[in-house]
Amino acid sequence: MEPASSPLFVGQRREQIFPAFSPAHIETARHFGGPVRQFSPGEIVFALGESGAPAFLVLSGSIEVVRRDGMGHGAAITTHGPGQFSGEIGQLAGSPTLTEGRAGPQGCFALPFSVSQLRALLIGSAEIGEILMRAYILRRVALFESNAGIVLLGPADTPQSLQLQNFLRRNTVPHAVIDPKVDVEAAQFIERLGIAQDELPLAVSPDGALLRNPTETTLAYRVGLLPNLEPHQTFDVAIVGAGPAGLAAAVYAASEGLSVLVLDARSFGGQAGASARIENYLGFPTGISGQALMGRAFAEAEKFGAVFAIPVEIAQLNCGKEPAPNWGILAEPAVAESRKPTKKLHLDGDRCVQATTVIVASGARYRRPGLSNLSQFEGRGIYYWASPIEARLCLGREVVLVGGGNSAGQAAAFLATHAAKVHMLVRSANLAASMSRYLIDRLNALPNLELHMETELTELSGDAVGDLQAVRWRHRRTGHEEEHAVRNVFLFIGADPNSGWVRQCGVALDEKGFIRTGADLTPAALGVASWTECRRLPAPLETSRPGVFAIGDARAGSVKRVSAAVGEGAAVVAQVHAYLARDEREPLYSAARPH
């Protein structure tokens, strides 16, 4: 169970990963950092697992950086010399450090940068910001690819292990997975600690802390994805959902000085983050993986100071009492209070956060076919995304993929590079009605992919331990049925809007559950309580509750594309600014709203 070879970083990108700042850069950086600190030879500069550790710019001497895991293994990473910065992308969120730094043989003089000082430097100097952000992102990638960070001990293919692996991977948290069935040292470690089988997987932090069969939430606290949210703190904007729309809104709002909280129930990136390759996004002619694209957006939002809390479920939205406004339908009302009401988001675990505005970017939930025993096989052969983790389970096997949209096409093309054969089941008779032409042409060129048009999944069957073993499907027009020994099925049959949590706040939905905004809101949808006496019209992306906005896939009438979601995320911030700046006592429109 040896760690990856050391040093971790070699090759042509070393100068980008460990840049040395010029004297001019160092002089600029001095204006942003704290007082110079001196460290004796061998003294710890930053400890492994330390939360909120400063980044350090070495002025003289050196800092020797190593990584360790909770199993007692270590590896040298690099030695920072004069003009070099410590840290990686987790530094921007104050996450627990994945490495340890000690002063070199001659000691060290270094300039410390707290989280806020580091962000100020990245924004205050565009040249330094570009160099340092590139280095920090590449360092995280290298740590991720070298299996640094937390170690998951236990069988790699159990539903619990797969769930945690996907959670860590989707949130770009470096980790390793070690199966005690094939690793003697891991088996001995588990036996020595007296860990029972139902306590696996065991999560071992780099600092040695142990979590027995943890939940995603418990693991998130350990790796720094869940901050301690103060119930009395009020953010300018709370964004619910960290998909393309939510991340875009976070970047633009935070970069314009608003205090931003982003909440997501699983990971940043949404369904786009699960795409193996996006080839029709502007500016990427060779394509880019959804994880890479969303990872860049996530880092950009953190750079500008957006606070992320993942995973968090929203139990209820309380919009508070709105000021009484009028948009010309009724007689002139009494002068309303201009103070904006605070919205409260009630979270799982009896937590609560407050914000002056809320942006609903909660996207959609995966649809599930109406099979009685479907839930029995979720995580044991039924999957709703196709990541490298699931792809490894499919090596040399036949698999089934259900769906006919772009996401299904991308997943099918990706799985075909691992599986012996991909059976793609599509309900419709015309794939061109739901999939881009370039993807259709690609699928038709794959020798190990078979399209089954007008076909639906009808039956699942498993073995004695509960793993999927076989599936049956039926041609909808002829009724012909087939059964195949297939152990992995991927469902990409679309999604329904994730909007149920806004109903209690009185946010108007259409007949399919999508959130109505702007011109789509009729007087009946607006309701007496919120807008009957309002002095202005809702903004284009504003819901039936003033100060609550909706963007992306959850919004009625939205274009279900990554680029469209990003555009709405950018556009909504201007409307949030207008809401925050507006005095509700001043009329925006004098004429009655036509409908």
Q: pLDDT for 434-483, tens place per residue?
A: 999 999 999 999 999 999 999 999 999 998 888 999 999 999 999 999 99
pLDDT at 202 over 70: yes
Higher pLDDT, 29 or 273: 29
Domain assignment of residue 1, yes or no: no
* Amino acid present at 182: V
Supply 380's token pair. 């044991």
* Model pLDDT for residues 329-349, shown as the tens digit of each residue: 333 333 334 457 899 999 988
Average pLDDT of the residues in 394-413: 94
Residues 246 and 355 in one domain: yes
pLDDT band of 431, cuts 50, 70, 90: very high
Mean pLDDT of the chain, nearest integer: 89
- Distances from the Cα of 371 to the Cα of 312, 368, 376, 405, angstroms: 29, 8, 10, 21
Supply 550's token pair. 């909706």
- Considering 145, 176, 196, which residue would you say is the last residue of a domain? 145
pLDDT at 559 over 80: yes
Residue 527 contacts residue 506 (beta carbons within 8 Å): yes
Using CA atoms in the order 22, 303, 88, 31, what is the torsion angle rounded to 10 degrees?
A: 40
- Considering 194, 221, 248, which residue would you say is the last residue of a domain? 221
What are the two backbone dihedrals, phi and then psi, of residue 285, each rounded to the nearest 5 degrees? -65, -25
Residues 86 and 160 in one domain: no
pLDDT band of 311, cuts 50, 70, 90: very high
pLDDT at 578 over 60: yes
pLDDT band of 584, cuts 50, 70, 90: low
Extended strands (E) in 506-595:
548-550
Give residue 329's domain range: 234-364+496-581
Residues 21 and 139 in one domain: yes
Model pLDDT, residue 231: 80
Angle, CA of 35, 77 and 209, to the nearest 5° = 85
pLDDT at 321 over 70: no
Indicate which CATH number applies to the domain containing 36: 2.60.120.10
Model pLDDT, residue 225: 94
Residues 100 and 161 in one domain: no
pLDDT band of 325, cuts 50, 70, 90: very low
Whole-structure pTM value: 0.87
Domain assignment of residue 587, yes or no: no
Residues 122 and 23 in one domain: yes
Residues 478 and 524 in one domain: no
Supply 429's token pair. 């008779």
Domain assignment of residue 32, yes or no: yes
Model pLDDT, residue 481: 96
Domain assignment of residue 8, yes or no: no
Q: Is 300 helix (H, G, I), strand (E, B) or coil?
A: helix
* Model pLDDT for residues 41-75, shown as the tens digit of each residue: 999 999 999 999 999 999 999 999 999 887 778 88
Model pLDDT, residue 280: 84
Model pLDDT, residue 454: 97
* Model pLDDT for residues 535-546, shown as the tens digit of each residue: 678 999 999 999
What are the two backbone dihedrals, phi and then psi, of residue 146, each rounded to the nearest 5 degrees? -95, 10
Residues 350 and 447 in one domain: no
pLDDT at 591 over 80: no
pLDDT band of 11, cuts 50, 70, 90: low
Model pLDDT, residue 1: 36
Average pLDDT of the residues in 382-388: 89
If one counts the domains in the chain, the total is 4
pLDDT band of 529, cuts 50, 70, 90: very low
**Taking the CB of residue 445, how many other CB atoms lie within 10 A of it?**
9
Residue 457 contacts residue 428 (beta carbons within 8 Å): no
* Model pLDDT for residues 216-244, shown as the tens digit of each residue: 999 999 999 999 888 888 999 999 999 99
Model pLDDT, residue 534: 57
Residue 239 contacts residue 263 (beta carbons within 8 Å): yes
Residue 550 contacts residue 232 (beta carbons within 8 Å): no
Residue 196 contacts residue 185 (beta carbons within 8 Å): no
Q: Which residue in this structure is represented by tokens 């860590």?
A: 168
Residue 473 contacts residue 455 (beta carbons within 8 Å): yes
Model pLDDT, residue 239: 98
> Residue 429, exposed/middle/buried by CB under 10 A (0-12, 13-18, 19+)?
exposed
Residues 162 and 206 in one domain: yes
- Total residue length of the chain: 595
Residues 349 and 395 in one domain: no
* Model pLDDT for residues 487-501, shown as the tens digit of each residue: 999 999 977 899 989
Residues 18 and 141 in one domain: yes
Share of the chain above pLDDT 90, in %: 69
Residues 250 and 322 in one domain: yes
Average pLDDT of the residues in 180-186: 91
Model pLDDT, residue 274: 80
pLDDT band of 530, cuts 50, 70, 90: low
Model pLDDT, residue 595: 37
Model pLDDT, residue 588: 45
pLDDT band of 387, cuts 50, 70, 90: confident
- Considering 221, 248, 274, which residue would you say is the last residue of a domain? 221
